[in-house]
Chains A and B, each alone.
Chain A
Amino acid sequence: MHKIAEVEIQHDIMLANKKLAKRNQRILDKSDVFAVDVLGAIGSGKTSLIESLIKKMNVKIGVIAGDVISKFDANRFEQYEVPVVGLNTGKECHLDAHLVEHALEDLPLEKIDLLFIENVGNLICPVDFDLGSHIRMVVVSVSEGDDTVEKHPLIFKDADLVVINKVDIAEAVDADDEKMVSDARMLNPDAIVIKSSLKTGKGVDEIINVIENFMNK
């Protein structure tokens, strides 16, 4: 004889990642490392911004460079002689806490004050996955279109710092950078929003100040 039974499971699939993210943050805190999750679309300027920060900041920096298959970004950071781990997600469109946990094992955390975790270029998938970082910085460039912020509300809702990048070419690409700033502020009144151009250096000092303030909190 067969019988039919109902089995309650109530298992949150996201929970495993959240738990690992918390563990990552404990590992970082133990070594006094402040971590910034750097998010943004392909070509928004994430890698270039991290390069500018490495050059200008007076703290010991490390980088986890996430990419789908290549090591191009990791190679770019290596020339600055900072500790770098390149993470390839393979088929995945985002980093997760498990991948970051392994990257942390490969970094000399005692030699790092500030760790940038460069996520895969994507404004959608990384939203659901905490990594254990202390703040989230989202980089969006004017060349993506000035409606990009309002079209991707969740990633901006979760951001601590929003960088509207490449404002030097706003006119050329017919984008209203002020609209992008006000969209970000509307979606997330708590976030700090900064306009930048890595070409001219605009906004970089401001970004550094904000990150340093978060580090000292």
Chain B
Amino acid sequence: MHELSMADAMVKTILEAAEKNQAEKILEVTIEIGKLTMLNPDQLIFLLEVLTEDTLLEDSEIHIEEIPVEIECKSCDYKGLTNLDDSDHYLIIVKCPQCGERDLKVTAGRECNVKNIKIEKSD
């Protein structure tokens, strides 16, 4: 259950940025999660809600955007998105969509970014 430590790190990052920008309230938060991270978005939202009680983040709207998987194929030099097939999740990391080879490097899809926040502040 490492969503808890990740959520905790996110809350700290967000509150730091909010404080730096003299926020009085945080209205919205956007978080990007790579499709290949072992993080469950629903669990993450639940934990963020728990951890943000009595902070500037309480009641803010949390948006989670998924970062798609990109690869570099070592056989045919294809670089870019994979064909995602949610019914067979793991195939995305083993086959190049262009040549079908399996020897490839994952270049995107393992991130966990706090992207931006929308805040309310005094004039």
Contacts and interface: CB of A to CB of B under 8 A. Distances in A.
Interface of A: 1-14, 16, 91-94, 96, 124-125, 127-129, 150, 153-154, 157, 186-187, 189-190
- 9 nearest A-B pairs in the assembled complex, by CB-CB distance: A153-B90, A1-B123, A13-B112, A9-B114, A11-B114, A13-B9, A125-B2, A11-B13, A8-B116
A2 B10 CA distance: 26
Given A7-B118, A13-B9, A153-B94, 6 more contacts: A5-B21, A9-B117, A11-B114, A125-B2, A125-B38, A186-B102
Contacts, number: 109
A3 B121 contact: yes
A7 B18 contact: yes
A13 B93 contact: no
Given A13-B112, A125-B38, A7 B119 contact: yes
A6 B116 contact: yes
B14 interface: yes
Nearest to A129: B2
16 contacts: A1-B123, A2-B123, A3-B122, A5-B120, A6-B118, A7-B18, A9-B117, A11-B113, A12-B113, A13-B6, A13-B10, A124-B38, A128-B37, A154-B93, A157-B93, A186-B94
A91 B120 contact: no
B9 A16 contact: yes
A187 B122 contact: no
Contact of B38 (A10, A12, A127): A127
Contact of B36 (A7, A11, A150, A154): A154
Interface residues of B, number: 40
B10 A10 contact: no
B27 A4 contact: yes
Contacts of B115: 8-10
B110 interface: yes
A66 to B, nearest CB: 13
A186 B18 CA distance: 46
Interface in B89-123: 89-90, 93-94, 102-103, 106, 110-123
